[in-house]
Amino acid sequence: MFDTLTDRLGNIFDRLRSRGKLSESDINAVMAEVRTALLEADVNLKVAKQFQDKVTERCVQSEMHTALNPAQQVIKIVNDELIEILGGQALTLAYSDKPPTVVLLAGLQGVGKTTNAVKLAKWFKSQGRNPILIGADLQRPAAVEQLRVLASNIDVPVFSESSDPVIVARNGLSEAISSGRDVLICDTAGRLSIDEDLMNEIRQISDEIQPHYTFLVIDAMTGQEAVNVAETFNDKLALDGMILTKLDGDSRGGAALSAKTIVGKPIAFASTGEKVEDFEVFHPDRLASRILGMGDVLTLIEKAEDAFDHQEAQKAADRLLSGQFNLEDFLEQMQQLKKMGPLQNIVGMMPDLPQGVNPDDVDETRLTRVEAIITSMTYEERDRPEIIDGSRRSRIAKGSGTSIQEVSLLLKQFKEIKRMMKGAVKPNKKKKKKSSKGRKGKQNSRAKREINKTANAFDLGEFGSFKN
């Protein structure tokens, strides 16, 4: 996401790096380019102009750190203002003293309310809450059934009836109270902003259940129209925030950059993929960092902590250090990596990507092919890949639907990794024997450096990552 804006801003800042000093005319010229880049990213004209004026004013007033060069000075100010127009701080939810905390979801048809209702329920569960879903969308055929199927995957109950949506919402609230649920999420029917009957219906639902939070689900790919929709709903419902969907497919991102300023309501959550796990709290500072090509290390760490089993990761690290790391361990690490979400998103969060590396060019099917190759091996072959001869390679290639060359490439790279690890922990025999404590400390330090180098190499490599 935001590829267009990131590329344009990157080119602008690259030209600034050769400047020793910036005059006021230089600043004005640069900010005119920045405004053009924002408009091309489908940012609202009013927001782009306001952004340009604020950054220009701060630059001219020399609100900069003297230790930084001109490019860094401008980037810092641009980063600060991006965070501001994105909302400043992440929205912190406060839970009701008298459960349940009620959340009402609204939005147009086809923006993903039902899916995001389940994603939100999963997020609440990760916070230690006990949610229930209310299926009040009785307009779309099978909408309630879709909600039940998705919710069954995360073990969250769904309440619905074949009656009036307002009655469903009322009875759903009673069910949440009687069953001891502390969070209620009400999914409503999709509607057109000009459909007064449906708008009246959702107002009645809101009056009935008195939600603590009313979130509007909007599609990032609709651009400025999403902002217009948000204004209309805010007039009718008094929104508390927004959930931005399909951020993984929006290369411009203007809706995210315009919504807070125009509507006056923060973006609470962002949906970054099709899976239930692809859902996160919206952090303005982290998104600003991504837009400026500086990565998003904090979100990357959080995803890794959620996806990786710490005990298994430690075992894999120990086996790697001892030289016992095999293809079975590699497969387990790769499968945990896939739990972190689309590989393109993971790569996009990494800071300081090499020149020319585009996250969208990352081919996630390579991981699938490598997984197929390893799972086509016997357990003995995974443990001792050196026994794989020509006939075994041919069998593995046929079983995995790949080529013998791909099998050979995987084995070659894996052998090289093991060789590097063996060298990392091997003592240097040429030096005089020192105390075991000092020698072991140096070996461990060297081993850690080699592991980090290897992990970094494989972050963008052909077959995934060894990181734990």
**For residue 7, what pLDDT is reported?**
73
The backbone torsions φ and ψ at residue 64, rounded to the nearest 5 degrees and listed phi first, read: -140, 165
**pLDDT tens per residue, range 407-426:** 998 888 888 877 776 655 55
Q: Which of 331, 310, 436 is nearest to 376 (CA)?
A: 331
Helix (H, G, I), strand (E, B) or coil at 296: coil
HSE, side-chain direction, 13 A CA sphere, residue 47: 27
Cα–Cα–Cα angle for 100, 102, 103, rounded to 5 degrees: 145
HSE, side-chain direction, 13 A CA sphere, residue 414: 26
Contacts of the segment 410-413: beta carbons below 8 A, 24+ positions apart: 410/370, 410/373, 410/374, 410/463, 411/385, 413/461, 413/462, 413/463
**For residue 133, what pLDDT is reported?**
95
Which residue matches tokens 């125009």?
262
Counting DSSP H helices and E strands in the chain, the numbers are 20, 8
Q: What are the C-alpha distances in Å from 251 to residues 98, 216, 319, 367? A: 42, 22, 41, 24
Positive or negative, the CA dihedral 68, 72, 75, 80 is negative
**pLDDT tens per residue, range 137-185:** 888 888 899 999 999 999 999 999 888 899 999 999 999 999 999 999 9
**For residue 57, what pLDDT is reported?**
84
DSSP state for residue 354 in the 8-state scheme: P
Q: Name, in order, each residue with C-beta under 8 angstroms of 62's C-beta and a sequence gap of 6 or more.
A: none
End-to-end CA, the chain: 26
pTM above 0.75, yes or no: no
Q: Which of 237, 256, 197 is nearest to 106 (CA)?
A: 237
**CATH classification of 3-86 is 2.40.10.10, yes or no?**
no
**Beta-ladder partners of 105:** 187, 215
Q: Which of 304, 297, 385, 410 is nearest to 349 (CA)?
A: 297
**pLDDT tens per residue, range 330-357:** 787 777 766 666 666 665 555 555 545 5
**CA pair distance 457, 462, nearest whole angstrom:** 10
**For residue 237, what pLDDT is reported?**
83
Helix (H, G, I), strand (E, B) or coil at 137: coil
Which two three-digit tokens encode residue 390?
Answer: 């020509």
Those residues of the chain that have pLDDT short of 70 are 1-4, 18-20, 62-69, 192-194, 223, 249-253, 293-323, 337-364, 421-468
Q: Are 225 and 259 in contact (CB under 8 A)?
A: no
Q: Are 251 and 257 in contact (CB under 8 A)?
A: no
Q: Are 214 and 206 in contact (CB under 8 A)?
A: yes
Q: Which of 430, 49, 407, 13 is nearest to 258 (CA)?
A: 49
Q: Are 295 and 258 in contact (CB under 8 A)?
A: no
**Beta-ladder partners of 241:** 215
**For residue 3, what pLDDT is reported?**
66
CATH code at 300-459? 1.10.260.30
CA 431 to chain centroid: 48
* Domain boundaries along the sequence of the chain: 3-86, 101-283, 300-459
Positive or negative, the CA dihedral 282, 288, 292, 296 is negative
The DSSP code sequence of 371-411 is HHHHHTS-HHHHH-GGG--HHHHHHHHHHHTS-HHHHHHHH
CB atoms within 10 A of CB 390: 9
Which two three-digit tokens encode residue 106?
Answer: 């609204």
**For residue 282, what pLDDT is reported?**
85
**CA pair distance 235, 219, nearest whole angstrom:** 19
Q: Residue 244: in which H helix or E strand, if any?
A: strand 241-245
Which two three-digit tokens encode residue 168?
Answer: 């469903």
Domain 101-283: which CATH class? alpha beta
**CA pair distance 305, 308, nearest whole angstrom:** 6
**For residue 300, what pLDDT is reported?**
55
**CA pair distance 379, 399, nearest whole angstrom:** 15
